[in-house]
Structure 1
Amino acid sequence: MRYEGLFNYQCCYQCGVTLQPEEIAQQYCAPCQISEPYFDETYCLDRYTGILQSPLHEFKYQKHIAYGHALSSAWNMLISSQLEHIDSSYLLPVPLSIQNLAQRGFNQSWEIAKRIKCGRHIQKSPYILKRHHYSEHQAGSNLEDRHLSIKGMFYVEAKYIEQIQDKTVIIFDDVMTSGATLNEIARILKDNGVYRVINWVLLRAARPIERVQHV
């Protein structure tokens, strides 16, 4: 059984959502058993409703960079030791589009990811995975809309495609909500020859209501 987070949660091996009692024996949530995501496993530091939500908002929306450093430190203290032996070649942040990056001034996922501890064999890079500009926000969208809106939004920079062939890649994100973004990234990576995709997520939202209703 995998226990993760700032507190002990029994989590789905694949998507990191908190398991229901009837799912614990299988170690996978019912939605992942019914419709397997493209990514292979997920590690989360804490739940989105936990004590790290406020520091993340201060960092992400108020641009208080010190909170980003604190979040990296929390990751390093609480979860990095259990991840140091993961066999992976690359650690990539979920990218922002060029327009959104210019507007915000930084990519919050990369600012955290570049400071977290990982095996020396893992190369960190914000350049391999790219995102097309998308003017609307996903917040408040239902699960089906999220999957549709994110379709085709990501691509691999052409000069790196050969380097990622048959490799395991870690994707780092600050928040995993429905999983639509990370699932689309995993699809694109595997379409470009990546062997395995592992998610490292700072905060994991509760199980999407829409997803439960469709199973």
Structure 2
Amino acid sequence: MLTRRLAPVKPAFVERVLMRCPGQCAVCRAWSRQQVCSECLQRYARPVPRCWTCAARLPPALAGRREAKCGSCLREAPPLDRSIAALDYSFPWDGLLQHYKFHQAIELRETLLDRLNQALNIAEAEAPDLLLPVPLSPRRLRERGYNQSFELARTLARRRKLICEPELLLRVRSTAQQAQLPLKERGQNVKQAFALEPGRIGELRGCHVVVLDDVMTSGATLFEIARVLRQAGALNVQAWVVARTPDTALD
């Protein structure tokens, strides 16, 4: 029997106010000057080796090996030149990202961005010519009230003195939520869902472009965007994400 999947329930006003109150770690609830205390960061945010092109977690033995790749990327190279992820999409970051994305917990943006900024420093990431947040459909933007990727991208752009262009990449077709689809259907779900502002396509020729998203799982969305950018002449396309799923079970 089919069951209807309900959208995440937004917390009550009082709960949202409490989530914004300083003084408690969002993970362990210990008193803290930060949203996530230093003890939880030490426990849950340690850097790990990741695939150069899809950011999947690699065995510890590959730590420090530059441009190491997972078996999947060795068999079939993705359309991304590089992917950088700060965290595993697992406890506690999966819950925090869900709050940030669906429950109006915009105050978590700085904590999540701190982790990504640290990962970029460790990876010695080069500054791109353009930073593009993954766009939302108008319907999903109305539901959430803001684009979580754009909020991350514009703040990161200020920190690292990058050019953020939120209106260059367009979502031209509404799609089903990736998380509700089997893995093999996700590529087809986002096919031809993205395009570029027609009058600005020429700006991408020869450019180094970074696409920023909050979570990467199967990679279908970011791979489709990378193909669109390459067709427009982008020379180098990378993905920067806050979290990467330990496997490809979700999107």
Verify the 8 A CA contact 2:48 2:60 in the aligned structure 1.
Answer: no
Map 1:83-162 → 2, pairs under 5 A: 86-116=126-156, 119-120=160-161, 122-162=162-202
CA distance in 1: counterparts of 2:116 and 2:125, whole angstroms: 16
CA distance in 2: counterparts of 1:148 and 1:125, whole angstroms: 26
One-letter identity of the residue aligned with 2:206? D
Report the equivalent of 1:65: 106
Verify the 8 A CA contact 1:143 1:208 in the aligned structure 2.
Answer: yes
Per-residue CA deviation, residues 178-207 of structure 1 (Å, 9 max, x unaligned), is 000000000000011111111100010022
Map 1:162-201 → 2, pairs under 5 A: 162-201=202-241
CA distance in 2: counterparts of 1:102 and 1:137, whole angstroms: 15
**TM-score, with structure 2 as normaliser:** 0.74
Distance 1:151 1:68, change over 3 A: same
Please, which runs of 5 or more residues in structure 2 have no aligned partner?
A: 1-43
Per-residue CA deviation, residues 43-77 of structure 1 (Å, 9 max, x unaligned), is 1110000432222111111112212233223433x
Structure 1 or 2, whichever has the larger Rg, is 2
Q: CA RMSD in A?
A: 2.4
**TM-score, with structure 1 as normaliser:** 0.85
Report the equivalent of 2:86: 45
Count of residues in Structure 1 that have an aligned counterpart in Structure 2: 204
Moved more, 159-168 or 136-145: 136-145
Verify the 8 A CA contact 1:14 1:32 in the aligned structure 2.
Answer: yes
SS of structure 2 residue aligned to 1:178: coil
Verify the 8 A CA contact 1:164 1:194 in the aligned structure 2.
Answer: yes
Verify the 8 A CA contact 2:173 2:192 in the aligned structure 1.
Answer: no
Per-residue CA deviation, residues 15-67 of structure 1 (Å, 9 max, x unaligned), is 00012479777711111111111111001110000432222111111112212
Moved more, 65-74 or 125-134: 65-74
Distance 1:209 1:67, change over 3 A: closer
Moved more, 84-93 or 105-114: 84-93
Instruction: Name which structure has the greater RCO, CA cutoff 8 Å, separation 6+.
Output: 1
SS of structure 2 residue aligned to 1:161: helix
CA distance in 1: counterparts of 2:62 and 2:76, whole angstroms: 15
